[in-house]
Structures are given as C-alpha cells and as structure tokens.
C-alpha cells in the first residue's frame, strides 16, 4: 500500500459512485430499522465531497482528507455526518506530514479514526454499527504486514454481512431490540463501500 493524493481522490470518487448507485438500497435498509435517511444523507454528502475536491488542489493526503471530513460534517447531518466526519478528520491528523501513505501510516489513520468513532458514537464492538466494519479492518491491517486488495475486500464484506444477525444496541435501530435482527446495519454497508472502493484503488496499483 502506498497512497498518494491521486489515489485518495480515486478512493473518494469510487466511494461516491457506489453510494450514488446504492442510494435507494441504503435508504431501504435504513427504513427497515432506522429513520430511512441514510442513503439520502450519504449521497448528498459524497456528492459535495466530489464537488469540493474536484475544485481544489492538494499537496498532501492529510489536506485532502481534512476537506473530505469538513464537507461530510457540514453536509450529511444525522448521525452519519459527525461519525464519518470525525473518522476522516482523525485520519487526516494521523497521516499529517506523510507525502505518501504506506500501510503503517494508514493503519494509524484507521486506528485513530476508529477511536474517534467509538468516542463520538459512544458505541462499542458488536452494537450493530459501522464500528463492526472498521474494527475488523483495523485488525486485518495490524495483523498482516502487507495487506492486498483481495484481503481488504473480503474482510470488509464479511464484516458488513456479519451485522445481519446481531441485535442493535446503538442508534435508532436499538429501539427495535430483537426486531433489528435479520437486517444489515446501513452504516456498516456504507463503510463496506468505503473499504471496497479502497480495495479497487489498490488493485489497480498491484
């Protein structure tokens, strides 16, 4: 893994493509166990990320990630805005000073991002939230010296699918208790799109 500004731009662009293409799907997942706005909010936020980053020039990955963070914070709303915004802000701070982001630097970025999500959302592993995708990805990065695209995709997909059989303890889905079992967590699905897009960027470079 060796991410430069152009790779992170591709990462955001692919993430946006997946979210726009699956906007209705994300919303339908959220209608089942939440308040039904996840697709609408994420699509609006990532569209704004594209508008902002395409109109700007970046010298460092850190500056780019910071713009992604601030755009998501101000455009998404709901719970996803602060959670994704915090994640990218922490990642931006973690990779500050790196002209290219290798796996150790990216791992630190994911670790700080996850800690930010944990703190902001006051949730923990197994609550049926996006944490259930971010945490296994961090473990993958920590336990393997050189993670490849296929490993990243597989880990993210497996983690996302594993939220289906869990009872929600945080977010609006928690009001449903047992009735939340059998549904995928929408935030885990959007987090899967994020890491799956990164895997695609990595695959093109392999």
Binding site for another protein (CB under 8 A): 31, 35-37, 40-41, 73-83, 85-86, 120-121, 169-172, 174-176
- Which residue, 21 or 175, has its beta carbon nearer to another protein? 175
Q: Which is nearer to another protein, 78 or 140 (CB)?
A: 78
Instruction: Look at residues 93, 79, 154 and name the one whose alpha carbon lies nearest to residue 122.
Output: 79
CA–CA separation, 125 and 136 (whole Å): 10
CB-nearer residue toward another protein: 7 or 38? 38
Q: How far is the CB of 123 from another protein (least distance, A)?
A: 9
Give min distance, CB of 181 to another protein, in A: 15
User: Is there a contact between 183 and 29 (Cβ–Cβ < 8 Å)?
Assistant: yes
- C-beta of 25: minimal distance to another protein in Å? 16
CB of residue 182 to another protein, shortest distance in Å: 16
- Judged by CB, which is closer to another protein: 96, or 170? 170
Two tokens, residue 22: 């699956």
C-alpha distances out from residue 202 to 56, 64, 94, 109, Å: 23, 18, 20, 17
Q: In the complex, what is the shortest distance from the CB of residue 15 to another protein, in angstroms, rounded to a whole number?
A: 20
Sequential DSSP letters for 100-112: SEEHHHHHHHHHH
- Please name the residues in contact with 46: beta carbons below 8 A apart, sequence gap of 6 or more: 12, 15, 16, 19, 20, 72
Closest to 78 measured CA to CA, from 120, 115, 119: 120
Of the pair 164, 170, the CB lying nearest another protein is at 170
């Amino acid at each position: 893994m060796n991410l430069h500004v152009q790779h992170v731009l591709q990462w955001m662009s692919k993430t946006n493509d997946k979210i726009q293409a699956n906007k209705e799907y994300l919303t339908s997942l959220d209608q089942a166990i939440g308040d039904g706005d996840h697709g609408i909010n994420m699509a609006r936020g990532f569209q704004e990320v594209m508008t902002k980053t395409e109109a700007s020039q970046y010298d460092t990955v850190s500056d780019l990630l910071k713009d992604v963070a601030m755009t998501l914070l101000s455009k998404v709303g709901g719970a996803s805005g602060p959670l994704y915004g915090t994640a990218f802000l922490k990642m931006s701070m973690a990779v500050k000073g790196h002209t290219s982001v290798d796996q150790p630097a990216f791992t630190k970025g994911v670790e700080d991002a996850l800690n930010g999500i944990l703190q902001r959302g006051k949730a923990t592993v197994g609550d049926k939230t996006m944490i259930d995708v971010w945490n296994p990805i961090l473990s993958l990065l920590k336990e393997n010296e050189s993670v490849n695209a296929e490993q990243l995709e597989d880990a993210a997909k497996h983690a996302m699918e594993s939220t289906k059989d869990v009872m929600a303890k945080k977010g609006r889905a928690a009001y449903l208790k047992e009735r939340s079992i059998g549904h995928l967590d929408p935030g885990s699905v959007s987090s899967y799109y994020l890491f799956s897009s990164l895997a695609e960027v990595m695959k093109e470079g392999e």
